[in-house]
Structures are given as structure tokens and as C-alpha cells.
Amino acid sequence: MENIKWEISIMHRLNHLHIVKLFEVLATKTKIYFVMKFVKGGELFAEVVKSWFGEDLSHKYFQHLISTLSYCHSSNVYHRDLKPKNLLLDENGDLKVSDFKLCTVTKQIHPDGLLHKLCGTPAYVAPEILAKKATAVPKLMYGPSA
């Protein structure tokens, strides 16, 4: 229940073109429902399996992802489970980031500047996480100031 409350609080904080919008949360005694924007195109994973992406399309998706991560990081939110199954495509072929249940926020960073809760999907996490070491909070460097 705490994880669900956490994800809801994060999703309510975030408002970005490339993040799946959470409209409402409904609950019964046994279930919780997220009412979210319908993302018609499905998972990026399905597209990766189906076909090869050209440079232009890859660049578009990368720009959408970097824009989203920059926004999240400026909002002190760090996703920590980015993978093709958590990246959705809308009807226009635009990327939408979903699934913030493993994210963290700046206040969870230890005094040493590291995160000590190790999590993520093994096939997509950094080697230091697999080695069970603490991880630094990611810093994005891109654009004109990079």
C-alpha cells in the first residue's frame, strides 16, 4: 500500500508532455485503480522487437526521453526503472514515460550523495547496482550548457 501511495504522490507532482497523465485514483476495499491517459501505441518494447529504428526515429525518442528526464530531475524525481516496457508510444508516435513506482526523490539521498536502496529491472540496471553498491544520483548533461 505504501508503494502505491508513493507512486500516486509522484504522479500527481509530475506534469510533462512525455509522461503518462494520471487523472484520478479510485479504490474499493480490495483494489486500487489508476485512471490515466490512454496511450494507444503500446510499449516501445513491442516496436523494438518488431522492427529496426532508423536514426531519425531513434533521435526523436531520445529527445523525448531526455526532455522528460530533465524535467523529472529538475523536479527532484529520479525514475530508476527506465526500460522499453515503461516507455509507451501514443497515436502520434510520441514517447510517454510510465511506471514511477521505483522512483526516488532528492530527500532520500544520503549525506554521502548516494542512494542506498538498490532496485530496478536486472537486464536494464547499471553494473554497480548489480554489484550491490550504492549509486550516485544521475546528473544529466546535454544541450547548450553541456
| Residue 112 a catalytic site member | no
Residue 94: domain span = 2-136
Is residue 141 a part of any domain in this protein? no
Measured CA to CA, the distance from residue 76 to residue 119 in angstroms comes to 18
**CB neighbourhood size of 62 (10 A):** 12
- When divided into structural domains, the chain yields a total of 1
CATH of residue 97: 1.10.510.10
Which pTM was predicted?
0.77
Measured CA to CA, the distance from residue 95 to residue 104 in angstroms comes to 22
Q: Residue-wise pLDDT tens for the chain (146 aa)?
A: 777 888 899 999 999 999 999 999 999 999 999 999 999 999 999 888 888 888 999 999 999 999 999 999 999 898 888 998 999 999 999 999 999 988 878 766 666 666 656 666 767 676 666 666 555 555 554 444 44
Is residue 105 a part of any domain in this protein? yes
Check 56, 81, 99, 112 and give the catalytic one. 81
Is residue 46 a part of any domain in this protein? yes
**CB neighbourhood size of 35 (10 A):** 11
Is residue 145 a part of any domain in this protein? no
Sign of CA dihedral 137, 141, 145, 146: positive
Is residue 143 a part of any domain in this protein? no
